[in-house]
């Protein structure tokens, strides 16, 4: 028997499972792929529909009140999820653009080095590979186990020639949580800055960017903040932002944007100096709707429920004789569970044929439960993977 919410009767195992009814994809699929793309919730869809109505009815006139306010509201609410004030938040269309804008502001003359790890998402690393012809040197800290990177190894790689340490809060192929306060401290001890790609953490793991002491922290809508494509934010610590001047620019970064003076550029005093051009309003509104779930539930409850689901999934996989690639302790784990698979792409296709949405990464099927998932989703996914292995 299936309830209206799409949850099988008797399987409402946690207090957030009722939210499942607001994510229509569960009506005919089991969704276990939030770490690739968060599913579209009713509230996000409603916000976009409202935006389209306003656009249709008012056109550009809406810029001067509702849309301008929507941008300010999003900066404030993004700040809220990482405990940071609105003036430390810049909006951007992708992590790549946000990192590239920060990269443009660094002075590599006496500090040509940038330290990354072998587990970081490539787009973060490419920023500095692309600057090698300008003298930028990339230092890649290897992961000994392909799950995490010891902070001590990162610290050892930083020296007086290091401009920046750029790494992840949650590693995208293992779900391991990095100690970003320790990374920031190691960077600052050598006079370097610290940038954190938190795309895989903000929304599923509590984050306090100011308390962690990082200089930059980037996350956004695509995954755990349920806001879809095309909208991210870049937190920039106030003192760091004020002393860095980007060498790429757009009119949204200009302090007096509507002066339209082509002869002079004066950047915003705050994080908005890292903004470039007109934001995608549909994406802004999807994110405002998606954030409602995160804010309403709150990070402690989200973390509690997803951590429980992760341990359930790891234990059930273990019962099948599988050894998921996850961090050693539950505290270091997040909602990305890598199930070993001989042919991950084929296994994911087999799951898809059974209406289960997952993702493949080298050597593994990647499953990522969130607050709308239930234990029965794990049972179904693991059973189908077992059936696939056995023929």
Ligand X SMILES: Cc1ncc(COP(=O)(O)O)c(C=O)c1O
**Binding site residues, ligand X, CB under 6 A:** 94-96, 121, 123, 168, 172, 197, 199-200, 222, 232
Strand locations in 187-335 (E): 193-197, 216-220, 232-236
Minimum separation from the CB atom of position 99 to ligand X (A): 8
Q: How many CB atoms lie within 10 A of CB 261?
A: 10
Backbone angles phi, psi at 202, to 5 degrees: -60, 125
Residue (197 or 270) nearer to ligand X, CB: 197
Nearest to ligand X of 221, 246 (CB atom): 221
To the nearest whole angstrom, how small is the minimum distance from the Cβ of residue 369 to ligand X?
17
Question: Nearest approach, Cβ of 35 to ligand X (angstroms)?
Answer: 7
Distance CA 58, CA 62 (A): 6
How far apart are CB 122 and ligand X at their closest, in Å? 8
C-beta of 357: minimal distance to ligand X in Å?
16
Q: Based on CB atoms, which residue is closest to ligand X, 11 or 146?
A: 146
Q: Which is nearer to ligand X, 5 or 201 (CB)?
A: 201
- CA 157, chain centre distance (Å): 25
Distance of closest approach, residue 182 Cβ to ligand X, in angstroms: 19
DSSP 368: B
Q: Which two structure tokens, joined as six digits, stand for 382?
A: 């693991």
Beta carbons within 10 angstroms of residue 327's beta carbon: 20
Comparison of 11 and 123: residue with beta carbon closer to ligand X: 123
Please, which residue, 128 or 388, has the CB nearer to ligand X? 128
Q: Rounded to the nearest whole angstrom, what is the least distance from the CB of residue 72 to ligand X in the complex?
A: 22
Strand order in the sheet with 193-197: 89-92, 232-236, 216-220, 193-197, 162-168, 113-117, 137-141
In whole angstroms, the minimum distance from the beta carbon of 177 to ligand X comes to 13
3-state helix, strand, coil in the chain (%, to 5): 45, 15, 40
| Cα distance between residue 306 and residue 215, in whole Å | 28
Question: Could you tell me which of 19, 35, 5 has the C-alpha nearest to residue 338?
Answer: 35
Residue (6 or 203) nearer to ligand X, CB: 203
Residue matched to tokens 């499953």: 367
How far, CA to CA in Å, does 92 sit from each of 168, 205, 250, 284, 292? Answer: 18, 22, 11, 10, 20
Which of 44/322 has CB closer to ligand X? 44
| CA atoms of 267 and 269, how far apart (whole Å) | 6
């Amino acid at each position: 028997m299936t309830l209206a919410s799409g949850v099988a009767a008797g399987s409402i195992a946690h207090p957030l499972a009722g939210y499942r009814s607001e994510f229509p994809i569960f009506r005919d699929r089991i969704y276990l792929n939030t770490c690739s793309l968060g599913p579209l919730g009713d509230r996000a869809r409603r916000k976009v529909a409202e935006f389209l109505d306003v656009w249709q009815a008012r056109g550009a006139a809406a810029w001067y009140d509702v849309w301008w306010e929507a941008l300010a509201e999003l900066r404030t609410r993004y700040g809220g999820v990482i405990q940071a004030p609105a003036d430390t938040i810049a909006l951007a269309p992708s992590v790549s653009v946000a990192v590239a804008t920060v990269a443009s502001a660094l002075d590599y003359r006496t500090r040509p080095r940038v330290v990354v790890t072998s587990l970081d998402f490539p787009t973060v690393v490419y920023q500095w590979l692309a600057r090698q012809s300008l003298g930028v040197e990339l230092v890649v800290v290897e992961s000994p186990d392909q799950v995490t990177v010891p902070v001590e190894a990162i610290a050892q790689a930083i020296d007086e020639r290091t401009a920046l340490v750029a790494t992840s809060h949650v590693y995208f192929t293992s779900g391991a949580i990095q100690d970003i306060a320790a990374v920031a401290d190691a960077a600052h001890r050598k006079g370097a800055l610290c940038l954190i790609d938190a795309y895989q953490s903000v929304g599923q793991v509590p984050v306090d960017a100011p308390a962690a002491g990082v200089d930059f922290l980037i996350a956004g809508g695509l995954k755990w903040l349920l806001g879809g494509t095309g909208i991210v934010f870049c937190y920039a610590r106030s003192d760091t932002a004020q002393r860095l001047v980007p060498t790429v620019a757009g009119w949204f970064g200009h302090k007096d944007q509507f002066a339209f003076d082509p002869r002079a550029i004066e950047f915003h005093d705050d994080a908005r100096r890292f903004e470039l051009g007109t934001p995608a309003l549909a994406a802004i509104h999807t994110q405002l709707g998606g954030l409602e779930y995160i804010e309403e539930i709150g990070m402690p409850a989200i973390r509690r429920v997803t951590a429980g689901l992760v341990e359930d999934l790891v234990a059930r996989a273990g019962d099948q004789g599988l050894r998921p690639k996850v961090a050693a302790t539950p505290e270091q784990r997040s909602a990305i569970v890598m199930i070993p698979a001989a042919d991950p792409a084929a296994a994911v296709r087999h799951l898809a044929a059974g209406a289960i949405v997952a993702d493949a990464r080298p050597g593994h099927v990647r499953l990522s439960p969130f607050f709308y998932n239930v234990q029965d989703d794990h049972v179904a996914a693991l059973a189908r993977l077992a059936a696939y292995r056995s023929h």
